[in-house]
Structures are given as structure tokens and as C-alpha cells.
Amino acid sequence: MVLSNVTIYEIGVPTSYVRPGDAGVTIIASETTCNLSMNWYYSYSTWLVPIEVTDKGRASVKVEGMEVGLTLGLENDGGTLKLSLLECGCHVRDILIKLDGGASWLYQGMVDAFKEQISSAVEKAIPKKLEEGTLKLDSVLRDLPKEVPVDDNASVNVTFVNGPLLTNSSIGFGINGLFTAKEKALVPRNSWNFQLPVLCRDPAKMLGISLDEAVFKSAAALYYDAKFMQWIVDKIPDQSLLNTAGWRFIIPQLYKKYPNHDMNMNISLSAPPDIRISDNNIGATVYADLIIDVLEAEEVIPVACISLVIRGSGSVRIVQNNLAGSVKLSDFSMSLKWSNIGNLRIYLVQPVIWTAIETVFVPYANSHLAKGFPLPIVHGFTLQDAEIILTNSRITVCGDVSYAEEDMLRHSLLFDAF
């Protein structure tokens, strides 16, 4: 009796659970069923009967009550995740063999004698495939991108820091999270002061992401260093204020020296914005210099520079998988830094500057903040029912996730990129 081409073509997993622990992540699949197909061949001969009796056909095998378990180890390997199979096992409780073709009814009893061998083969084949799958998944994890682009100039460093922290109900990962210039090489950090687990108001939420204040400070510093925080204001709602005639009662000496000349305002930050996150509040302080320019023919003539300290409050929201935001002006103070047209009455200039900040500077900032930056969420998943929690120096995003590309995920193991 020969069995050949034994093929497992379907596995059903009605119940399973995942349990993190100190040793790793344990996955148990219970009451698993397994369907196999095979060819059977029978031959019989004896010296008493010189004629050989042969027969063949197909057989279907159903394995029931199979228990499959494995424990996976996770560790940080130079900023990437390394996955290893620590333990794996499979136990077959019951097996049913049905023959088709030929005089199958005659040989059914003989084939039943192969149950133990088939069970043993299944119990060896499943762990072997799981080991192969673990290696493939490990390769996928190692190929995860180390940075996520934000725009043409900046990326978020998503290399892992420290090792994963496992509790009996969650797995926590520390990610660098700082903004970096695109042309700058990433330097993985071996340690980072991060807190896990992420605390959500609703413990049933599937995902929690905690963003430290340092993430936003790094973004502010990067764009400041890249000279992107400079603006020339040549259009405002009240365009008359960009002509010296509109300033003749505010700065008479300006109008006297440059009558009916067009103007612009050159605003540049003198330091990166200072961002502070506290309970239920996001505050930002911006230090800037505003240079008043007079346009004469082809020449731009700086006539005065005013130092500004702008204070605002911010809010954040989730847009798909991005953290977006907006700011509004709270107050500001100003002082004269230098002047080529004599002393300025700052209290007269202040309303004009307030208008320029509210109608030009704030809308410009909000147009960029509205786009947001990507949260470190696995590609193919979408954040749902998210809530945002502000605590001392941290923004925490808690929510559920859904498969945005379920069919793709089913065929590509897990994911291909953040």
C-alpha cells in the first residue's frame, strides 16, 4: 500500500488568541481543521497466485481538533525588528480518511492503519511551514523603511529604539520619531527615554501612540535650520498698508522720506519656535524679526526692524493616518531693533502688525499644519475612532485600526512598509 502526493490544501482556524509575555508573543490556534489530498496505490501478489492484483485512486483526509501553538521572540537589532521562532508545536486529535476510485471500499480498513503516520506527518509539516513563514516575516520586518517622508525636505526617523516591552495585554515599541533632513544619514539610537505602555482612557482601544514634545521641537528646528521660516509679505487684505501713504499718520517720517512708495514686510524667525505641551493645552512661542522694506525702482531699501515675540495656542486632530493641527494667535509683544528713519511709536505700529500676523502669518502656518505628518502606522491599516489626549510634554493618540487593504494583506503576510 503506497500513499503519494500528500498535500495540505486548506487549514481552518475557527478560534485563536495572541498572548504577549516575558518569553515572547505566544499564538495559539484551537480546534483547527486541516484538509489533505493524496494518491493511493495498492498491489498484492503471492506465490500461490501468480497474478498481481493492483488498484489505485484518490483519497481525501480531514484532520479535526488540531492544536497549533508557537512563541515568537522580538528584539531590536540596530534599529530594526528581529523576529525569531522560539517554540512551535502541533497536535492532531482526530483524523478521517476517505478513499475514492477503484475498489476503495475494499481497502478502507487498510488505509485507516495509516492514520498515525499521516498524523505524524501533519504534526511535522505544520511547524516546518510556520518556521519558514517566520523567516519570511522576519525578512519583511527587516525591510521596513527607516524613515517616512513628510515632504520634499523632511522625513520622520522611524528606527526602533530599545527593545520591545511586552505586558500580558500589549506590545510596546519605542520609535525615534524625530524629524530629519532628507539628505542626512540616519543614526539609530540604542536607548531612549520612553514610557510604556501608552495609557488610553479606553483600555479596549487597539492602538496607542505617544508623541513626545521632542518630536515637534525637532520639526521646528529642522525647518528653521533649512531657512524655510522666512516670508516676504507683499499682499494683505488691506493693500493700502503696503504703501507709505497708508503709514503717513503712523510713521510720518517714513512717508516724508519715501512718499507713495510701495512696501513689503520681510518676516524671518530668529530662533526655532518653542513648543510646549501641557495638560489639555499646546502652546507655542515664536521669535521673529520683521523688516519693513521700501521699494524704490529696482531697489529694496530696509528702513526698520521690529523684534516680535508671538504667542499662540494650538490644537491637533487626526486626518486619516496623519496628525494635523492649527494655531491661533493669543498675544504678541514687539520692540524696535533698529531704524533708519528715526524712532517709531510702537503703540501706533502694533495694530498694523497684529493685522498682518492674523491675516497672513497665521493662515500660512495653518495651511501647512492642516496637511499634518504621518503617524507610525503599518501600511494597509487605517486609524479609526481616534481620540487625542494631551498630558505633560506628550500627545497621545488612541484608537482602533481597520484593514484598508485586506486582500493585499492576506497575500503579503502582514505589511510592506509603514
Tens of pLDDT, residue by residue over 167-193, are 888 888 888 989 988 766 555 554 455
Q: What grid cell was written down for 92?
A: 492532531
Give every CB contact of residue 417 below 8 A, 6+ residues apart in sequence. 144, 145, 379
Query: For 148-397, which CATH class?
Result: alpha beta
Instruction: Spell 47-75 as b/e; 16+ CB within 10 A means b.
Output: eeeeeeeebeeebebebeebebbbbbebe
**Cβ(97)–Cβ(121) under 8 Å?**
no
Q: Is 83 exposed, middle or buried (0-12, 13-18, 19+ CB in 10 A)?
A: buried
Q: What is the pLDDT of residue 366?
A: 93
What's the whole-number average pLDDT of the chain? 85
Q: What is the pLDDT of residue 406?
A: 52
Secondary-structure percent of the chain, ordered helix, strand, coil, rounded to 5 = 20, 50, 30
Please give the CATH superfamily to which domain 2-144 belongs: Bactericidal permeability-increasing protein; domain 1 (3.15.10.10)
What is the average pLDDT across 308-314?
Answer: 95
What is the average pLDDT across 253-275?
Answer: 93
Q: What is the pLDDT of residue 82?
A: 92
For residue 2, give the 3-state DSSP assignment.
strand
Q: Range with the lowest mean pLDDT among 110-119, 255-264, 296-305?
A: 110-119
Q: Range with the lowest mean pLDDT among 89-103, 148-162, 313-327?
A: 89-103
Q: What is the pLDDT of residue 373?
A: 87
What is the average pLDDT across 346-355?
Answer: 90
Radius of gyration of the chain (CA): 34
Give every CB contact of residue 337 below 8 A, 6+ residues apart in sequence. 289, 305, 306, 307
Q: How many CB atoms lie within 10 A of CB 258?
A: 20
Checking if the pLDDT of 72 tops 50, the result is yes
Q: What is the pLDDT of residue 380?
A: 80
Checking if the pLDDT of 414 tops 50, the result is no
First-residue to last-residue Cα distance in the chain: 53
Q: How many CB atoms lie within 10 A of CB 261?
A: 19
Checking if the pLDDT of 97 tops 60, the result is yes
Checking if the pLDDT of 302 tops 80, the result is yes
Torsion, CA 331, CA 287, CA 279, CA 318, rounded to 10: 100
**What does the alpha-carbon distance between residue 34 and residue 273 come to, in Å, rounded to a whole number?**
61
DSSP letter, residue 242: G
Taking Cα atoms as reference points, which of 130, 195, 190 lies closest to residue 161? 190
Q: What is the pLDDT of residue 150?
A: 85
**What does the alpha-carbon distance between residue 312 and residue 332 come to, in Å, rounded to a whole number?**
8
**Cβ(82)–Cβ(141) under 8 Å?**
yes
Q: Of the ranges 171-185, 253-267, 364-378, which is most confident? A: 253-267
Instruction: Please report which confidence band the pLDDT of residue 298 belongs to, taking 50, 70 and 90 as the band edges.
Output: confident
DSSP codes, 180-208: EETTSPP---S------SPP-SSTT-SEE
Instruction: Please report which confidence band the pLDDT of residue 410 belongs to, taking 50, 70 and 90 as the band edges.
Output: very low
Q: What is the pLDDT of residue 415?
A: 35
Checking if the pLDDT of 114 tops 80, the result is no
Checking if the pLDDT of 405 tops 80, the result is no
Instruction: Please report which confidence band the pLDDT of residue 417 belongs to, taking 50, 70 and 90 as the band edges.
Output: very low
The percentage of residues in the chain with a pLDDT greater than 70, rounded to a whole number, is 90
Which residue intervals of the chain bear CATH 3.15.20.10? 148-397
**Cβ(146)–Cβ(376) under 8 Å?**
no
Checking if the pLDDT of 340 tops 90, the result is yes
Instruction: Please report which confidence band the pLDDT of residue 413 belongs to, taking 50, 70 and 90 as the band edges.
Output: very low
In this prediction the pTM is 0.75
What is the average pLDDT across 286-312?
Answer: 94
What is the average pLDDT across 20-43?
Answer: 87
Q: Range with the lowest mean pLDDT among 98-107, 121-130, 408-417?
A: 408-417
Q: What is the pLDDT of residue 107?
A: 62
For residue 112, give the 3-state DSSP assignment.
helix
Which residue intervals of the chain bear CATH 3.15.10.10? 2-144
Q: What is the pLDDT of residue 356?
A: 85
CA separation, residue 295 to residues 97, 149, 169, 213, 262 (Å): 93, 39, 66, 42, 5
Q: Of the ranges 140-144, 202-206, 308-312, 407-411, which is most confident? A: 308-312
* Cα 257 versus chain centre, distance: 57
